[in-house]
Structure formats: C-alpha cells, structure tokens
Structure 1
C-alpha cells in the first residue's frame, strides 16, 4: 500500500525538525518517519523514537537487501536513510509519513513518489544565521559546524527542486507557511 508522503528538508540547523514537530503536534494524521542512522545517539535521543541507531555493518547489509527508500552517507562515515518498512508501518496505520531528511535523500524520495509526495525546503535567513543557530545548540564541535555550514551552501543550491520553499526568519511564521502548504496538499488542492 502506498499513500501520500510529506518530505521536509533543509540544511542542518535551518529549523526543519522544529517545523516537523509543530505540524505533527497539530495534525495527528501526520506521523514522524523515524530514520535509520549510524551515528551515536545524542543525549535524550532514543532508539526507535528519534532514529533507528545501527552499526555501519547493519546499515550496509540493509542497503544490500534493498530495504531503504533512500539512504546517503551524509557526513564521512555517517549513514542516514529511510527504511521502506517505516513508510509501510505508517501507511498501515492510515497515516501520512512525514520525512525529516537531508536534501539528497529528499530529491531521491520525490523521484520515487512524484505523484504522492509533497516536498518542503526550509531555508535559513542566511548562512551566517545558520552557523549561529548551530553554535547555540552546543552539541557540535567547531569542525562539525564548519562541515555543516559548508554543506549548507551546497544544499541551498537545490532549493528550487522542491514543491515549496519557506524561509525561516521567524519560526512561528515559517510553521504557519509550512502548515498552509501541507494542508493544501493533504486536501488535494
């Protein structure tokens, strides 16, 4: 069974997870699609809730078995992906999976589900503001922040590949813009 899919993508730190949480809290039909990842859990993250944390070997085995809708080595040695079984689990509940994924993965899912997906790109006000947000998290090293900021400039070049672009100057405004576009998609307009 295949249903609709909502894809939310952005450079790291642009606000995609905050927007995803806002939408999920307001619309119970939307279900967060838990991604698989080979990185270590951050404090407060739980396996099966925030990510399916797995070893690189387990992830690579799932790649060989064609168990992913999309996967990428997002950062050196760090794999992320969306399991087919996760989408099927959500559709079986009669809900719509909401994917909070990187830009390359979002393009890949969009290509596989051109008629049943809606993609939203969350753009930061600037790369400087993005760096400030990443630093304020207090979870990244200077090298990690530099890698994410450099990657963000590249990812921003793909923003026109998506159905809707929302600039996150003010989170409340960005959430409402995202909500309006996604509700229109869900209602078929």
Structure 2
C-alpha cells in the first residue's frame, strides 16, 4: 500500500490534475486564500542576495546575443540538468538583424523544458505550458529588468522543482491504474523561457518579439 501524501501535497496533486485536464483557458481567474496558502514558500530561492539561488544569478543585463544572455541560459540549463534530470531540454535557435546591429545577425535562443509521461513519445502529450521571457532591454545601458522578466523566470524554475514530485506521483498512479496511453490522459508540463521579446529601439511589429515570436 502506498503511503498517503500530506494534506498540502494531496491538494497540490488534485489541482495539478484539474489544471492538466482543463479544456478551456481562463485568464485572470481569482484564486482563493486557501489555494494561495498551498503555494510553497520560495525561501532563499528568490533572495536577491543569495548567489546560489534561482533569482540572484540572473539579476544582470541580459540583452539578446550578449554574455549576460549566455550566462542566463547556462543558469537555466544547469538548474534543470542538476535538479530536475527527468525534464527534457530543447533549444530553439534563430538569428535576426535589429535596428542597432546593422547587417549583423543577432542570435536568439528559446529554451523549452518538458516533463512528459514516461510512456509517450516526445511531443505527444497534453502540456500545461508556463512561459516567461528572459532577455532585458537594450537601453538604458546596464538595465537589469528584475520584474521584467528575471523574477518570473526564477519563479517558474521554483514552480518546476515544487511540482516535480507531484508530477512523478501522478504519472506513477496513472500507470498503476492503466490510465495512460490516450490523448486525453497523457498529461505533462512544459516551461518556455524565451529570448528576444524586448524591442531594441522602439516597440513595433519589426522591432520586438525576435526569438519569442
């Protein structure tokens, strides 16, 4: 007999089931206080003075195509490889000229981290998708963009680690019950961390959404 999960853990697992089974998308739906109290405390992960946390290492300028962007990508990849090895990592790379690069192509790199049921072929599950962009603005010089969008990226990393054991439990229970193997029931999670959302000069259809388009 399997041990019972904690009350909070059980609630999180139930909510995860409901989220993944949802057919319609509802934006900006109010969350109850009881639901919010179940969210794990991020603790030192989001401490701006904790260099070993999730947020502090990316509180740097992260303009696309710069060393800051490369360091941020490395931070993301190292986190998932070390702490969440069951998640797959995909790179979606592209290049584009920008108003400040002249004829030079600027590289953009989107990162996709997926946690799919172990019995499905890659890309064949229903995925709850969580997204943030990680690049920062070109001007003013030295702009960090803590809220837009370093903090959301760190929060999604924290979410991934917090739900991983519940996703594993959900997949194990589905396998035991023989519920896997159908499109409706093959559920997982993916986190997209996107590059090149910011404009380099002024937001237009051409100067914006380079990598995240």
Q: Which has the higher strand share?
A: 1
Calculate the TM-score normalised by the size of structure 1: 0.23
**Bigger CA radius of gyration:** 2
Q: Which has the higher helix share?
A: 1
